[in-house]
Structure 1
């Protein structure tokens, strides 16, 4: 761990009552080493240098970290089978987690082993309904270049109605969950609900040509190739802290979000330690560390966004009720048709 990251960890722990708040390490008693998942790049770095050391200090458990992507985890889990899961606690987007849950790969949580579950905002528990919990929420609002847009947008409908935004819009494509959310959002605003995708696609066609990406929207916004897009508040904060003239707003109709749901595998080889890990991630220490590193909105009510982070983490407290509830079962069931129709409008 670098000296900078040590200071980062100590600062986070001090804000929550000091290092002693972590307690005395427990004796690990698992039948195998705990295996948990995360993504690559800055995610892996944070998990190795901050999250896992803090968890080990609190519990005495040293996990093995598997680095990959949600679709890769889903493939590996299905290949291994329910009786021999390759991971114990799986972090992935709800669109993958929901499908795996329905196929029997995750167990319903024993909430007596997750005391921090009781302190979560409803948005962190409603989708999994006791079968998992959202441990990271990256709110997605309308991000824009303040030097290219005269009047800040306040509504998703302005992407259609405001002439200043025409031809300057970026969208995540349909391979990204943000593209799927944008389709459902459009269907809900202009149609009869999230599943009214006929209306949704008709309205999307009205947008005309848009810039598409499956992952990185920041480069296009930074270079001025686009002026407005659905954007992660945390990424806007990073761009703004680098000196770029950008901002992000909470639209009147509500927020999209990138979620990371944490699930316990059925027949987990390190089940007891998996529950310790899940509870730690959902608890004040884990949530504070995640908030400071990624500018995500803490899902635990007991974590207060400090004044120096208020601009970078603007969605907390009462604003946590502004997230839209998505229908991932519907999206998964109609994935091929939805991808085909999206690509007919915007191109692959």
Structure 2
């Protein structure tokens, strides 16, 4: 048996979508991307959605839009959790913002709300919250903290598509939210990402920044630039420093088919998680991620405790020998990475929760189909390790 990090969710529909694009002979960003964006926005209850070539690019677009719109300024402080993927952090640094790292709750793996409150200063202008491995933050407290301190709430929801808090889709709770549609994620378009917002002005910034900073993709009634009626002039007219983050038509066409399957995918992931959590209850000294409301269960995180705390390398070796794919919990405590020396940053207090995850945590994959057989196999291996 081989227990992989992710499974295949494509069928005949996705292949036909690819063929549809091939037959159209139009491959760069076009009608399929536009249709996917409209369908994505409807699905998640957002006014606007902008597709890009990755979830990392979705984050970059969101931060760039905030800076060019003046909502964030060079040197502003943005609070981030100490555990996340690298491209939660890099776009902030690339736009001359200061990162302030805050510890996580070692049970939920998301930002510790008490420590977040203590970290806020007069220089704090935003919180970039990460819904880690499918799990919602404590949004009742998080929203109140941001409102009370007049700071912007952003969501990196790249690992948590389909998760909900108070029946609201994660990614739509803050001013902007981001999603990833990379191969191993809930919805798979090979590569891809989406940035959503209800703010029309930010939406127009996203459209321009995504494609070189030009005006071509802006609507005639744009809130950020008055377009000339001269189409020739507006085809190569640049109003801000942008990027080329455009997705492919194939990726969008695949995404349109994947969206139709998403409810079933999320349902199955939750069913798998129920089974996993139940099975893990009988195993001592291994803690699993505590769910906040409705997680979409990207994977199954585990943290070794007690007599097992120092034995992660041994257990990981055993899992690999049995063809069970295993990874760190995202990047662990990101401040321990060499890249941190390039970032303007500050660490707020002790990062004890992040350190625990860094040293004693790991995760295995969840699937979009039933993987009870894989879970049973995993549990047997872990039980044999614990008994040694």
TM-score normalized by structure 1? 0.28
CA radius of gyration, larger in? 2
